[in-house]
Amino acid sequence: MTLILLGPPGAGKGTQSRRLSENLKIPQISTGDLLRAAREKRTPLGFQAESYMIAGKLVPDDLVIEMIRERLKEADCRGGYILDGFPRTVAQAQALDQTLAAGGAGSKIDRVVNIEVDREEVVKRLSGRRQCRKCGENFHLSFHPPRVEEVCDLCGGELFQRDDDLEGVIRRRLEVYENQTSPLIDYYGNKGILANVPGEGSIEEIFRKILKVVS
């Protein structure tokens, strides 16, 4: 099975993608993870992507598309995959269609799940995130706070707020999403493979809703 998860930043696409990956036994492909890894490794792509990510802008299509094309060639994608964070524009969706038609992993996309979340809820979710500088463990000031303020429960490292989780950056990311990514809802809706899922409730509740529309 080949799946795409859509939704604004903070909708829980990463969390739900990981659960789906475990349940369906297919890999999760997250462009966010791939881009952050490239940035941390200081690769040429990482340098190019960094300025866009900090400013809350989308990384240009050509950079992202090439990365995805290479990832889909890997052996673990032959039985299906879950795309988390890609495509983000109609141009990317069209490029993906061309890749699949040319013999990329999977001959078509089976289902596109759109997780719907209110704008202010997104701001609350993302601005409260904190990460450990030492071990990378994630926390949230409201949903998963550390036992000691700004200190990692696991290793005692310092917690920090990523640049792309600052409120001003989040709101710019949402504007970009609404202007450039929302048209994907119509694109896949017209293909008859889109399913809208409310992104409110517990992680388990949302996961059960997603399973219903992909089964």
Q: What is the pLDDT of residues 137-194, one digit of tens each?
A: 999 999 899 999 999 999 999 999 999 899 999 999 999 888 888 899 999 999 999 9
Active-site annotation holds for 36: no
Determine contact, residues 114/7, Cβ cutoff 8 Å: yes
Instruction: Catalytic residue, from 111, 124, 162, 172: name it.
Output: 162
Active-site annotation holds for 173: yes
Domain span at residue 94 reads 2-118+168-214
- Kindly indicate the confidence band of residue 65, based on its pLDDT and cuts at 50, 70 and 90: confident
Q: What is the pLDDT of residues 117-131, one digit of tens each?
A: 999 999 999 999 999
- The three-state secondary structure class of 81 is strand
Instruction: Catalytic residue, from 88, 125, 130, 209: name it.
Output: 88
Active-site annotation holds for 162: yes
Instruction: Catalytic residue, from 19, 71, 125, 129: name it.
Output: 129
Asked, for residue 191, whether it belongs to a domain, the answer is: yes
Sheet containing strand 159-160, strands side by side: 138-140, 129-132, 159-160
pTM for this prediction: 0.78
Instruction: Catalytic residue, from 125, 130, 173, 209: name it.
Output: 173
Asked, for residue 145, whether it belongs to a domain, the answer is: no
Asked, for residue 150, whether it belongs to a domain, the answer is: no
Nearest CA-CA partner of 174 in 128, 131, 210, 121: 121
- DSSP label at 211? H
Asked, for residue 73, whether it belongs to a domain, the answer is: yes
CB neighbours of 32 closer than 8 A, spacing ≥ 6? 14, 84, 85
Domain count within the chain = 1
User: What would the two tokens of residue 187 be?
Assistant: 């694109």
Active-site annotation holds for 71: no
> Span 44-51, mean pLDDT?
77
Instruction: Catalytic residue, from 13, 19, 71, 130: name it.
Output: 13
Asked, for residue 50, whether it belongs to a domain, the answer is: yes
Q: Does the CA dihedral 200-205-207-208 come out positive or negative?
A: negative
Question: Domain with 89 in it: what CATH number?
Answer: 3.40.50.300
Asked, for residue 207, whether it belongs to a domain, the answer is: yes
Asked, for residue 153, whether it belongs to a domain, the answer is: no
- Average pLDDT value for the chain: 89
> Span 28-35, mean pLDDT?
83
Name the residue type at position 96: L
Active-site annotation holds for 88: yes
pLDDT for 74 equals: 82
Name the residue type at position 27: P
Asked, for residue 149, whether it belongs to a domain, the answer is: no
CB neighbours of 192 closer than 8 A, spacing ≥ 6? none
